[in-house]
């Protein structure tokens, strides 16, 4: 009986994950207390970061909320951080959590109109290269005034709608015919991976353009006393060339078909989407057109409200959900619940992630690196700041990294270590490095992490390593352009 229960507990632990993965997580949990006792909290803290990154990379084995959550709970139990410190990180990022919960839910009720609009775009633009560039440009320009998470939520909603049309078609076929459709399905998934990544990288580089594009932009601009136009003028020498490099890279990877890019939409799937769109248009009555008008008007309100920043993003998302459900006639509780199914697992994972950030903060894991780059002088210091911020932003939250670095830079400036002009240059470099190189991994960008943990990512096989691979050419090109701009134009 004891052996039977033991087998049951082992089987239930992390569910259907591979045995090697379960053993690895158990090894992490056993290693950390020993490492803390022998090597101290600094080494253990960095080990914990790498372990958490591993859980993100293995998301197709197990959602990191379970495995990463165990690591976060252990860090709390070992005293490497405290509930108060985690709460502080959550409070600092409350707007992000509210945005996730309400904005994603609000967009869920716009999927009918979004599907119609983007299906029209997909069917009219037959060139894959042009379509990829359109997705990248739209995402980047809207992200300059809206927010990256909202844009990613829209792209996920659209791509999921496309895939569900194809999935429903496959399910309608006899079992004997489904095997013949596997190559077609794989090609369609590859196409969706391309589109998703072009949209995702567009949100990153568009967010660097303006003061309101990313949270760290606002924080650093307020600290430096820059208004909207001053930020635009000072930062344009880096952000504009980097954005152009992003567009050229989009063209290049589609043209050369490297690293998984250049995958066209299968003609059979295009015909299927067209047939579905035609059928939808034929079946639309007055009530259906009324729904489209409501969704269009609420869409205009959403873009205007985000661009003008009339309220926190989460509150705008809640208002979108209220307006849509009221005027679309959604009154059943289970339909409201369906709208939150995509966002809540990621919102929970973000709290786990903030626990790891709290460990970084409590154990001052970045302090030695910051101290070392502050000792440097001249252009070498600028390059060191870019490299240090960029590397750390691929491991931790980029907003957190920017906040820690710019706070230390401010202390050094107040102590008379350098003049105002150099202070401004360092601020620009910190902001650049926590925006652009963060595209390398999903860790630094909440929008990337949201995409990675979405249900769509697992369906189209967009794994952590796949995202890293596909983001690599954008990382190389834009970081190179950013470094050149810093050295010669800043």
Q: What is the pLDDT of residues 120-172, one digit of tens each?
A: 887 888 888 998 998 899 888 877 776 677 778 788 888 888 888 888 888 87
| Average pLDDT rounded to a whole number, residues 49-73 | 85
* pLDDT attached to residue 488: 85
pLDDT at 312 over 90: no
| Average pLDDT rounded to a whole number, residues 409-436 | 84
Return the top range by mean pLDDT from 11-20, 262-271, 300-309.
262-271
* pLDDT attached to residue 91: 85
* pLDDT attached to residue 212: 66
Query: Which of 145, 121, 144, 149 has its CA nearest to residue 133?
Result: 121
Q: How far apart are CA 106 and CA 102, in angstroms?
A: 6
- Based on its alpha-carbon atoms, the radius of gyration of the chain, rounded to whole angstroms, reads 23
pLDDT at 275 over 80: yes
* pLDDT attached to residue 29: 92
pLDDT at 115 over 70: yes
* pLDDT attached to residue 2: 56
CA angle 457, 459, 461 (to 5 degrees): 65
Q: What percent of the chain has pLDDT over 70?
A: 98
| Average pLDDT rounded to a whole number, residues 442-465 | 83
CA angle 476, 212, 421 (to 5 degrees): 70
Task: State residue 347 phi and psi, 5-degree precision.
Answer: -60, -40
Measuring CA to CA, how many Å separate 436 from each of 72, 104, 218, 278, 335? 28, 25, 16, 41, 38
* Contact predicate 195/260, CB 8 Å: no
Q: How far apart are CA 12 and CA 234, in angstroms?
A: 55
Q: How far apart are CA 110 and CA 154, in angstroms?
A: 9
Q: What percent of the chain has pLDDT over 90?
A: 15
Mean pLDDT is lowest, of 73-77, 81-85, 308-312, for 308-312
| Average pLDDT rounded to a whole number, residues 235-263 | 91
* pLDDT attached to residue 3: 60
| Average pLDDT rounded to a whole number, residues 319-337 | 86
pLDDT at 261 over 70: yes
The more confident residue out of 175 and 319 is 319
* pLDDT range class, residue 398, cuts 50, 70, 90: confident
Q: What does the mean pLDDT of the chain come to?
A: 84
* pLDDT range class, residue 84, cuts 50, 70, 90: very high
The more confident residue out of 418 and 3 is 418
* pLDDT attached to residue 194: 93
* pLDDT range class, residue 256, cuts 50, 70, 90: very high
Per the confidence metrics, is the pTM higher than 0.95? no
Mean pLDDT is lowest, of 78-82, 265-269, 346-350, for 346-350
Query: Which of 460, 398, 472 has its CA nearest to residue 196?
Result: 460
* pLDDT attached to residue 265: 87
* pLDDT attached to residue 251: 93
* pLDDT attached to residue 399: 74
pLDDT tens digits, residue range 3-43? 677 777 777 888 888 888 888 999 999 999 999 988 889 99
The more confident residue out of 248 and 289 is 248
pLDDT at 446 over 90: no
| Residue 251 burial (10 A CB sphere; 0-12, 13-18, 19+) | middle
- To which H or E segment does residue 447 belong? helix 446-453
* pLDDT attached to residue 1: 58
| Average pLDDT rounded to a whole number, residues 356-376 | 84
The more confident residue out of 283 and 451 is 451
Mean pLDDT is lowest, of 46-60, 179-193, 216-230, 355-369, for 216-230
Task: State residue 314 phi and psi, 5-degree precision.
Answer: -60, -40
């Amino acid at each position: 009986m004891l052996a039977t229960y033991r087998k049951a507990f082992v089987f239930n632990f992390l569910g259907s994950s591979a045995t090697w993965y379960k053993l690895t997580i158990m090894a992490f949990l056993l290693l950390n207390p020993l490492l803390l006792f022998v090597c101290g909290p600094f080494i253990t803290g960095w080990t914990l970061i790498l372990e958490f990154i591993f859980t993100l990379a293995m998301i197709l084995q197990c959602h990191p909320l379970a495995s990463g959550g165990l690591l976060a709970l252990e860090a709390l139990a070992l005293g490497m951080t405290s509930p108060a410190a985690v709460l502080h990180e959550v409070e600092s990022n409350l707007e992000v959590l509210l945005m996730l919960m309400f904005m994603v839910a609000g967009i869920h009720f716009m999927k009918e109109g979004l599907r119609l609009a983007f299906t029209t775009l997909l069917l009219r633009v037959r060139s894959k290269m042009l379509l990829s560039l359109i997705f990248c440009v739209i995402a980047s320009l809207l992200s300059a005034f809206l927010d990256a998470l909202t844009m990613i939520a829209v792209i996920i909603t659209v791509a999921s709608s496309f895939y569900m049309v194809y999935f429903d078609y496959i399910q309608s076929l006899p079992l004997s015919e489904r095997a013949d459709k596997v190559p077609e399905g794989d090609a369609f998934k590859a196409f969706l991976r391309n589109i998703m990544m072009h949209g995702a990288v567009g949100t990153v580089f568009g967010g660097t353009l303006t003061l309101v594009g990313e949270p760290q932009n606002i924080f650093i601009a307020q600290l430096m006393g820059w208004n909207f136009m001053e930020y635009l003028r000072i930062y344009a020498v880096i952000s504009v060339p980097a954005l152009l490099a992003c567009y050229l890279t989009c063209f290049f990877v589609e043209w050369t078909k490297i690293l998984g890019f250049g995958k066209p939409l299968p003609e059979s799937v295009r015909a299927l989407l067209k047939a579905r769109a035609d059928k939808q248009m034929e079946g639309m009555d007055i009530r259906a057109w009324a729904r489209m008008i409501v969704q269009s008007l609420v869409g205009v309100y959403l873009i205007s409200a985000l661009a003008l920043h009339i309220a926190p993003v989460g509150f705008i998302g809640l208002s979108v959900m209220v307006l849509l459900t009221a005027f679309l006639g959604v009154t059943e509780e289970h339909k409201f619940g369906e709208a939150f199914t995509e966002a809540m697992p990621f919102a929970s994972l973000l709290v786990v992630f903030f626990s790891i950030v709290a460990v970084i903060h409590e154990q001052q894991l970045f302090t030695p690196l910051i101290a070392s780059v502050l000792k440097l002088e001249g252009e070498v210091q600028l390059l060191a700041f870019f490299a240090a911020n960029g590397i750390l932003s691929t491991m931790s939250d980029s907003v957190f990294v920017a906040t820690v670095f710019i706070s230390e830079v401010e202390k050094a400036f107040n102590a008379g270590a350098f003049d105002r002009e150099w202070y401004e240059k360092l601020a620009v470099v910190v902001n650049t490095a926590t925006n652009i190189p963060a595209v390398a991994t999903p860790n630094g960008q909440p929008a990337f992490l949201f995409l990675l943990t979405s249900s769509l990512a697992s369906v189209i096989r967009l794994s952590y390593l796949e995202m890293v691979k596909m983001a690599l050419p954008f990382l190389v090109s834009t970081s190179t352009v950013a470094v050149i701009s810093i050295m010669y134009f800043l």
